[in-house]
Amino acid sequence: MRRDVFQAIADPTRRAIIALIALQAMTPNALAEHFHTSRQAVSKHIKILTECELVKQEQQGREIYYQLEIKKMKEIDKWLEQFRKIWEKRFNQLDQVLSTMKKQKK
């Protein structure tokens, strides 16, 4: 089954994992310590994130460290940009309305 980044970020646990590894590369055991779930459950989330190419793994001795793949995060940011522009326009319009109302009260 082909997964995409939007399926990966749909789950709150996976979003939390992304937030953790955005700060530093972590092992599955280190990640599991942050959740009230089994290491196997965390590993399944990591697998999905890896399949979606949001996370990459790096072997360091006996340990595998997972780190965020920034290039893939840009795909999400690019999609969100269209909405960001709409929100900014609406906030600017709201600001104008509030300014007009404030002037009318004086």
Alpha-carbon gap, residue 11 to 98, rounded angstroms: 37
Alpha-carbon gap, residue 99 to 41, rounded angstroms: 51
Domain parsing of the chain, residue ranges: 5-105
pLDDT score, position 72: 86
Tens of pLDDT along the chain (106 residues)?
Answer: 567 888 899 999 999 999 999 999 999 999 999 999 889 999 999 999 999 999 999 999 999 999 999 888 888 889 899 899 899 999 889 999 998 888 888 7
**pTM for the full predicted model:** 0.76
Among 72, 33, 38, which residue's Cα sits nearest to residue 52? Answer: 72
pLDDT score, position 29: 93
Fold of 5-105: Arc Repressor Mutant, subunit A (1.10.10)
